Amino acid sequence: MTGAPANHAATDPVSEPGAELDRDEALALYRRMLLIRRFEDTVQSLFLRGEIHGTTHLYSGQEAVAVGVCSVLEANDRVAGTYRGHGHALALGVEPQGLLDELLGRETGVCRGRAGSMNVVDLKHRLIGCFGIVGGSIAAATGAALALKRRDGVAVAFFGDGATNHGYFHECLNFAKVLALPVLYVCENNLYGEFTPWEDVTAGQIRERAQTLQIPAATIDGNDVAVVRRAAGEAVSRARAGGGPEFIEALTYRFVGHSRSDPGKYRKPGELEAWRERDPLRRAREVLVEGLGASPDSVAQVEADVAAEIEEVTDRALAAPFPQPGAVREFAP
Amino acid sequence: MTEVIEFRDAIRDALDEELARDERVVFFGEDVAEAGGVFAVTGGLREKHGPERVFDTPISELAITGAAFGSAVCGLRPVIEIMFGDFLGLSMDSIVNQAAKFFYISAEQASVPLVVRSAVGAGGRFGAIHSQLPANWFINVPGLKIVAPSFPGDAKALLKASIRDENPVLFLEHKRLYAMKGPGGEGKEVAELGRARVVRAGTDVTLVSAMKGTHDCLAAAERLTGAGIDAEVIDLRTLRPLDADALLSSLARTHRLVVVEEGPLTGGWAGEVVALLAEHGLHDIDDIWRLATPDHPIPYSPPLEDAFLPGPEAIAASVTERLGSTNGAVGEPMYSPAS
């Protein structure tokens, strides 16, 4: 990977950039990434207005990972996301309206306001959950794979670099390997576990932890959606064919704080700016226009469509009803 | 006439029958397949149902319990074994944060039909960290059921019910009961979770317990007949939810009730029973109290462990003392909390 900032250099990605896509695929992927970015922009602004409560963890900057991976999944596959899960959900096709309504605590939310930002579930769209405890997604996907094995499905776990120091990571990767479970582990290494640089708290290289267990593992440029899509496609095919678990470390960067209370003071000087240069949306747009010959007008049309969609979704969400207090026991066991 | 079987065989038969009945049922844990379990409960199940459905796992409680949750959400009905209840601390996140909350926070998108079996209880000289009865770690977790059988027939019928339940169930098996023999039930019987049972009718005092404690209470009740005290014994069978109706109706008959819990006094389920009866049955109470284990770790040395556990003698002595004392007087607890 060229142009990787210094604190990622040690991870030495083994994938090659410039994976090929056709124009329609590239446009669809760009649209999905843009939807996530605009959605998160809206979440941020609604949060500052006091419309979204508690906390949020935005996916801005990491869009290529979820969109690239989810673009290769099939109907029988299932995904476990994290508390930074809006991008995972939208990449799977979860309705932006249901998701934003959920974040606003409305009765029309995908979990009818019972879950909130960190715990979204949408089984209809293959999302078995977003997990607010670091590493929880790894466990859930490992279990899902046990069931999906019977119907040629593959489970995907998204998790951050911080989760690789968790017991779930070590136990579940070994568990999946010895049982040959069809699961793809996607580590989104965004340089920081919450506020702490990953290399300060992580011994050795993340990819090598998987390789030690003889799990096929690759470190890839997580800001190039075509690279992610190709790597995920290959990994998912092998897993589906009975090859056991697969591991991808996707190098990426979040453009926003860990959560709403994080001013990001730990960032190194120039780091954010360097990563902005590698913005997955900007790069996908360049590939579309310069590499694949998409007309600037067609791309601009997609951008206008997404902006309009988000605006409409936001207006509807703000007008949606809250649950009745009397319904607090609904769904109680 | 029903067949007499060992408690451990009742557990195995329930697993066997449910594995045969429903192909979504799978069973896994440490040493459960090849070795048949460290308490010799699950031998032969892999041979009969195949290695895809009954298998050994690494010593990885986080992975085992997480796998139970993930597979349950995706259509299986997993039963897992956590070898000793003391290890359930490692399983806590998947049980408490994943499995038990899923139904509610997903707004009923799916239920999580899984069973966590675990061997619990003291008296086996296993020491402080292989002898606990950790029901109370889970007693205040909404969405979770806790089943605690006392008799072989019940163990079978309750485990079958637990496997068929749509929600997560923690199924506790007392180590000192595995070798116990009793009627095995009619084979196809499935119990209803959340129902206690009066296992001995009496009029003077109610002894409430679960698992091995039920047997201690029955033995205490026999001793009490010598003192002219006719004790009723209630086997709770399910610790969460508690069977409030059974408890209140017994209290209304006897007006005196002691809850015998193998577990620390502070924050235990015995306190929950007492609170429930105080809230809803205050006017029926002449006396109500708890006998639990003291608030310190379980000792290893046999004389110390025996002194630690409430047995039939201690239960009978406590009842005699309380019934002999003036009604309403505050008696000393049998086991004082450690300072």
Residues B260 and B270 sit within 8 Å (Cβ to Cβ): yes
Q: What is the structure's pLDDT at B187?
A: 62
pLDDT at B142 over 80: yes
Contact B46, B16 (CB under 8 A): no
Architecture of domain B197-324: 3-Layer(aba) Sandwich (3.40)
Q: What is the pLDDT of residue B189?
A: 87
- Give CB contacts under 8 A, 24+ apart, made by B319-327: B319/B205, B319/B207, B319/B220, B319/B224, B319/B229, B319/B231, B319/B258, B320/B224, B320/B227, B320/B229, B322/B256, B322/B258, B322/B287, B322/B289, B323/B204, B323/B205, B323/B229, B323/B256, B323/B287, B327/B286, B327/B287
**Of the partner residues B60, B68, B76, the one whose CB lies closest to the CB of residue A171:** B60
Is B97 in Cβ contact with A171 (below 8 Å)?
no
The pLDDT of residue A257 is: 87
Angle between helices A63-70 and A225-238 (to 10 degrees): 40
| Residue-wise pLDDT tens digits, A30-80 | 999 999 999 999 999 999 999 999 999 999 999 999 999 999 999 999 999
Domain locations in chain B? 4-183, 197-324
Nearest CA in chain B to A177: B58
pLDDT category at A264 given cuts 50, 70, 90 is confident
pLDDT digits (tens, 9 = 90+) for A99-142: 999 999 999 999 999 999 999 999 999 999 999 999 999 999 99
Q: Beta-carbon neighbour count of residue B103 at 10 Å?
A: 22
> Does the pLDDT value for residue B334 go beyond 90?
no
pLDDT of residue A332: 84
Does the distance separating the beta carbons of B68 and A140 come in below 8 Å?
A: no
Which tens digits make up the pLDDT trace of B155-171?
999 999 999 999 999 99
Region A159-186 average pLDDT: 98
Q: Stretch A305-323: mean pLDDT, rounded?
A: 98
Q: What is the pLDDT of residue A21?
A: 87
Dist CA A225 CA A68 (whole Å): 5
Given this model, what pLDDT does residue B324 score?
Answer: 86
A112, two tokens: 């009818």
- Tens of pLDDT along B25-69? 999 999 999 999 999 999 999 999 999 999 999 999 999 999 999
Give the up-direction half-sphere exposure of residue B57: CA atoms within 13 A in the CB hemisphere: 31
Tell which of A146, A149, A165, A179 to mutate to test the B interface (max B CBs under 10 Å).
A146
Q: In this complex, do A174 and B108 lie within 8 Å of one another by their Cβ atoms?
A: no
CATH 3.20.20.70 fits B4-183, yes or no: no
Longest dimension (CA), chain A: 57
Whether A31 and A24 have beta carbons less than 8 Å apart is answered as no
Instruction: Tell me the mean pLDDT in the region A298-327.
Output: 97
Mean pLDDT of chain B: 94
Q: Please give the residue that has the higher pLDDT: either A278 or A18.
A: A278
Specify the higher pLDDT residue, B329 or B316: B316
Say which of B49, B130, B174, B255 is annotated catalytic: B130
Q: Which pLDDT does position A261 carry in this prediction? A: 78
Question: Across the interface, do A140 and B104 touch by the CB < 8 Å criterion?
Answer: no
Question: How much is the pLDDT for A333?
Answer: 76
Would you give the distance in Å from CA A235 to the centre of its chain? Answer: 17
**Residues A222-259: pLDDT tens digits?**
999 999 999 999 999 999 999 999 999 999 999 998 88
Residue A38, token pair as written in the block: 């605009």
Percentage with pLDDT > 90 across chain A: 88
- For residue A131, the chain B residue with the least C-alpha distance is B98
Interface contact flag, B62 A121, Cβ < 8 Å? no
Nearest-CA distance from A192 to chain B in Å?
23
Q: What is the pTM of this model?
A: 0.94
Contacts of A141 in chain B (CB under 8 A): 70
Residue A263 has pLDDT above 90, yes or no: no
Is residue B130 flagged as an active site residue? yes
- How far does B102 lie from chain A, in Å, by closest CA? 9
pLDDT for the residue A7 = 52
Does the structure show a pLDDT above 90 at B201?
yes
User: CA B159 to CA B193: how far, in whole Å?
Assistant: 10
The DSSP output letter for A241 is I
- Give Cα separations from A321 to A105, A113, A188 (angstroms): 9, 10, 35
Place of tokens 């995972």: A88
Average pLDDT over residues B316-323: 97
With b meaning 16 or more CB within 10 Å and e meaning fewer, what string describes B305-322? beebbbbbebbbebbbeb
Taking the CA atoms of chain B, what radius of gyration do you get in angstroms?
20
Amino acid in position A175: F
Q: How far apart are CA B128 and CA B336, in angstroms?
A: 19
- Determine the pLDDT at residue B310: 85
Q: Which of B271, B117, B245, B120 is nearest to B192 (CA)?
A: B245
pLDDT of residue A284: 96
Q: B26: which 2 tokens?
A: 């799978």
- The closest CB to that of B74, out of A78, A178, A331, belongs to A78
Domains of chain A: 15-317 (3.40.50.970)
Classify residue B297 by its DSSP letter. Answer: P
Which whole number is the average pLDDT over B315-338? 64
Closest chain A residue by Cα to residue B27: A146
**Nearest Cα residue to B269 out of B290, B255, B244:** B290
- Residue B45: the pLDDT is 98
ipTM given for this complex: 0.93
Q: Do domains B4-183 and B197-324 have the same CATH topology?
A: yes
* A112, A132, A148: residue with CB nearest B74: A148
| pLDDT tens digits, one per residue of B204-251 | 999 999 999 999 999 999 999 999 999 999 999 999 999 999 999 999
